[in-house]
């Protein structure tokens, strides 16, 4: 079979990405996180590398998180930085922002952080306890505020009113593009969302374009997203 050479339409791009979940510690041995595994981020990074980009990849790590596997020959163009908390993610991403031409925010950032994690292990007791949560750093918001000409693609996972919420976020966050996708409700397994190999959704642009992407493997969805914005 003929080998189709890759289209190097991102050869002059340096993409700053955020991916994976963030976590917030409760005490020395416990933490809170979400179901993100970083698979959609990995697919976006791999496709960008295939198209010739340099990728600064800020990854929230947790058990089972997926790291991008650079296509052969692109290994030197992937720069991986591993973090855990939203605050660490913001700091690491802000450091990489000045060199970036565009930002792709796939990370599932914890919206709240534990106010005062305990340095020692909390002991079991019989009474109920309450955990104080405070808003986390808005990673994408901090990057937008510090931007100097970069374009921005955000991701939104929604259980309800996907397009309406997506359009609201595109506007409120001042993004150029937003990929909104459906995630299944609690207890209802489905083909889109967390820890599954497939995805589907709507790519919205600030110019008002709207592209529905049908259910497909995450690498295929990533290819279509880059086709539309590269």
β-pair partners for 201:
213
Q: Where are the beta strands (DSSP E) in 63-138?
A: 78-83, 102-105, 112-114, 133-135
154 near ligand CTP (CB under 6 A): yes
What does 22 bind: ligand CTP, Ca ion, none (CB cut-off 5 to 8 Å by kind)?
A: none
β-pair partners for 31:
25
159 near Ca ion (CB under 5 A): no
164 near Ca ion (CB under 5 A): no
How many whole angstroms separate alpha carbon 41 and alpha carbon 63?
16
3-state secondary structure of 50: helix
44 near ligand CTP (CB under 6 A): no
- Owner of token pair 């600064």: 56
Q: Which two tokens stand for residue 153?
A: 């693609």
171 is in an annotated binding site: no
Residue 148 annotated in active site: no
Q: Which stretch binds ligand CTP (CB under 6 A): 34-42, 59-67, 135-143, 193-201?
A: 135-143
How many whole angstroms separate alpha carbon 148 and alpha carbon 145?
9
The smaller minimum CB distance to ligand CTP, of residues 74 and 100, is found at 100
Site string for ligand CTP, 93-132 (x = CB under 6 A): ------------x-x-x-x---------------------
Site string for ligand CTP, 81-100 (x = CB under 6 A): -----x--------------
Residues ≥6 apart with Cβ < 8 Å to 172:
none
Number of residues that bind ligand CTP (CB under 6 A): 14
Question: Residues forming the annotated binding site for CTP?
Answer: 111, 121, 155, 169, 173
């Amino acid at each position: 079979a003929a080998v189709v050479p890759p289209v190097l339409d991102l050869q002059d791009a340096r993409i700053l990405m955020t991916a994976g979940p963030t976590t917030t510690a409760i005490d020395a041995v416990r933490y809170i996180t979400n179901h993100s595994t970083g698979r959609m981020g990995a697919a976006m990074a791999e496709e960008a590398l295939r198209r010739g980009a340099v990728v600064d990849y800020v990854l929230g790590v947790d058990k089972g998180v997926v790291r991008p596997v650079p296509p052969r020959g692109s290994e030197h163009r992937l720069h991986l930085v591993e973090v855990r908390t939203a605050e660490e993610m913001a700091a690491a991403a802000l450091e990489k922002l000045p060199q970036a031409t565009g930002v792709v925010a796939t990370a599932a950032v914890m919206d709240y952080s534990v106010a005062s994690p305990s340095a020692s292990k909390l002991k079991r007791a019989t009474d109920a306890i309450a955990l104080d949560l405070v808003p986390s750093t808005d990673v994408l918001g901090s990057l937008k505020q510090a931007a100097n000409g970069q374009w921005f693609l955000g991701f939104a996972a929604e259980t309800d009113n996907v397009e309406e919420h997506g359009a609201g976020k595109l506007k409120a966050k001042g993004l150029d593009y937003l990929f909104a996708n459906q995630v299944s409700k609690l207890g209802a397994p489905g083909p889109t969302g967390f820890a599954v190999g497939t995805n589907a959704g709507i790519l919205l642009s600030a110019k008002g374009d709207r592209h529905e992407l049908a259910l497909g493997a995450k690498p295929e969805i990533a290819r279509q997203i880059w086709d539309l914005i590269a």
